[in-house]
Amino acid sequence: MEGINLNLKEISLDPDDWNKYREFAHKAVDLVFDHQMKIAEKKVWQEIPENSKNTFLEQLPKNEMPLEDIYSTFKDDILPYTLGNIHPSFFGWVVGQGSPIQIISSILQAGINTPGGMFEQIPNYIEIQVIDWMKKLFNFGESSSGLLVNGGSMANYVALSVARYEKTTFDVLQKGFQTSDQFYTIYCSSETHLSVYKATEQLGFGRDAIRKIKVNEQFELDVDDLRSQIKSDIDQGYKPICIVANVGTVNTAAIDDVDAIADICRENNMWMHVDGAFGALLILSEKHRDRVSSIDKADSLAFDFHKWMHINYSAACVLIKDEQSHRNTFSSTADYVSKLGRGVLPVGLKMFPNYGMELSREFNALKIWMSIKENGTLKFGRLIDQNIEQAQYLGKIITDHESLELLAPISMQIVCFRYHGKLSDEEKINRLNQEILLQIQEKGMAVPSSTIISGKYAIRVNITNHRTKRIHLDRLIKNIIDIANELGQN
């Protein structure tokens, strides 16, 4: 024992007074439940005061701080100044709301704090069950596999990694691109989400590999253009390997012709990936599921639980039709994770790190599993139908209004429109709509986002919100007209 100080007091992060922490936990639960219950009465978003921003410029703390102080910083400087996405009038991008059961599941998850998707432990079996449910929901078959990831971006990345492994002709894991003199090409519509481009860049294909195919009037990939681009690329010596079909584009929620794309993939021995970040969940709707039933023709699918299934941030899934390709792409091994045959690492154990990049992951399956158990798939489907009907309702108000103009067909739950009043100058209309949008956000009335549709600035309302009622849409339109009037543009 020489050199070891046995008199040193041993410490841990556990509190001396557990009950004090328990009481704080109760207080914190009350705080966030009140916050959610009363959210509709609050501003959707508000500007952050300088002193709140300054709170987060302090130096790295060396010493302990009382729990009371940390808690009040949360209450005063964090809670009021979040994005506002849990509000019924939040319509920006495709951001989800979560639901109250997620407060409970987050506490339970934090309480057991176990790594997800590995080791012989029930959390692993919950993840297996969630993935199995999703495989069945999308009719991916017994020999498929899946992985829970943080978002659609990572789901797209994992899927395209498997596509690269399967469809390139060099040894991607051993030699990388070092030995390849082949130029591979990847196809998607010009409306495709940036995460697909990012994945293509990071996987070493490079931006030049992406062929952005033009879209038709419905903003769906133009299949004839796709065919001729592939033919022209083959004629020039390129090797087409993958098509990404959109099931719900981020701008307008357009759904590409999945059947036609599947045929083209089969004819050319290409990988078919579906980016169904939110749209794939149309499968839960009794009314609209036929629109996405061909997703099972894809080799891979990416979708988000945190969008149209209202799971708290963040939770997404990637499904791969052939489990073997999925495993082959990601299962590097090392002595310290090899199976011991029994105990915590028994033979036959499913280890999800063999299906993606991350070794340590949260036990996210719990919140997904709890919410699915709480609601059942039918309720999620009814909420999707409700949002689609609300989008149609909003569309009707817009088309009936002489000063408003719809800028894209309403495919699902996204409505892109603008105020034009009596203006005809396109530049002025663009500037006016941007000003209206900013005022709506800054006054805390609602948070729509914006996009450009055929060169026109659009106010974009996405309704993947289980809290939204028609009255919130009525209010939004009234606010837009009022602001336009105040700006003297009626």
The site for ligand PLP (CB under 6 A) is made up of 93-94, 151-153, 193, 195, 248, 250, 275, 277-278, 304, 316
Task: Give me the least distance between CB of 196 and ligand PLP, in Å please.
Answer: 7
Q: Which is nearer to ligand PLP, 277 or 484 (CB)?
A: 277
State in angstroms the smallest separation of the CB of 101 from ligand PLP.
20
Q: Chain-centre distance of CA 362, in angstroms?
A: 17
Q: Of 124 and 304, which has the nearer Cβ to ligand PLP?
A: 304
User: What is the smallest separation between the CB atom of 246 and ligand PLP, expressed in angstroms?
Assistant: 6
Q: What sign does the dihedral 236-240-246-247 (CA atoms) show?
A: positive
Closest CA to 244 of 293, 209, 290: 209
Residues 226, 213: Cα–Cα separation, whole Å = 6
Say how far apart CA 315 and CA 150 lie, in whole Å. Answer: 5
Name 36's Cβ contacts closer than 8 Å, sequence gap at least 6. 86, 100, 103
Please, which contacts does 167-176 make with residues 24 or more away whose CB atoms are closer than 8 Å? 167/241, 167/242, 167/269, 167/270, 167/271, 168/241, 169/239, 173/329, 173/332, 176/204
Residue 319, Cβ neighbours under 10 Å: how many? Answer: 30
Instruction: Compare residues 24 and 93 and give the one whose CB is closer to ligand PLP.
Output: 93
Of 192 and 329, which CB lies nearer to ligand PLP in the complex structure?
Answer: 192
Measured from the CB atom, is 194 or 337 closer to ligand PLP? Answer: 194
Nearer residue to ligand PLP within complex by CB, 127 or 304:
304
Q: Among 449, 473, 468, which Cα is nearest to 459's?
A: 449
Place of tokens 């992406």: 210
Asked if residues 285 and 383 have their Cβ atoms less than 8 Å apart, the reply is no
Closer residue to ligand PLP (CB): 420 or 460: 460
How far is Cα 279 from Cα 80, in angstroms, rounded to an integer?
Answer: 31
DSSP 466: T
> Cβ 152 to ligand PLP, closest distance in Å?
3
Whichever of 193 and 466 has its CB closer to ligand PLP, that residue is 193
Task: Supply the minimum distance, in Å, between the C-beta of residue 304 and ligand PLP.
Answer: 5
Q: Of 35 and 288, which has the nearer Cβ to ligand PLP?
A: 288
Question: Least distance to ligand PLP from the beta carbon of 92, Å?
Answer: 10
Q: Quickly list H helices, 113-178.
A: 122-137, 152-167
Least Cβ distance, residue 103 to ligand PLP (angstroms): 21
Residue 480, exposed/middle/buried by CB under 10 A (0-12, 13-18, 19+)?
A: buried
Q: Tell me the closest approach of the beta carbon of residue 151 to ligand PLP, in angstroms.
A: 3
Helix (H) or strand (E) run with residue 199 in it: helix 194-202
Q: Taking Cα atoms as reference points, which of 312, 257, 297, 285 lies closest to residue 413?
A: 285
277 or 459: whose CB is closer to ligand PLP? Answer: 277
Comparing CB distances to ligand PLP, the nearer of 316 and 473 is 316
CA-based nearest residue to 155, from 204, 184, 188, 198: 198
* Cβ-contact 270, 226 below 8 angstroms: no
Q: How far is the CB of 339 from ligand PLP (least distance, A)?
A: 32
Distance of CA 369 to the CA centre of its chain: 18
Separation CA 268–CA 249 (nearest Å): 25
Closest CA to 369 of 32, 144, 109, 113: 109
DSSP state of 312: P
Q: How far is the CB of 96 from ligand PLP (least distance, A)?
A: 9
CA 391 – CA 410 distance, rounded (Å)? 7
Q: How far is the CB of 249 from ligand PLP (least distance, A)?
A: 6
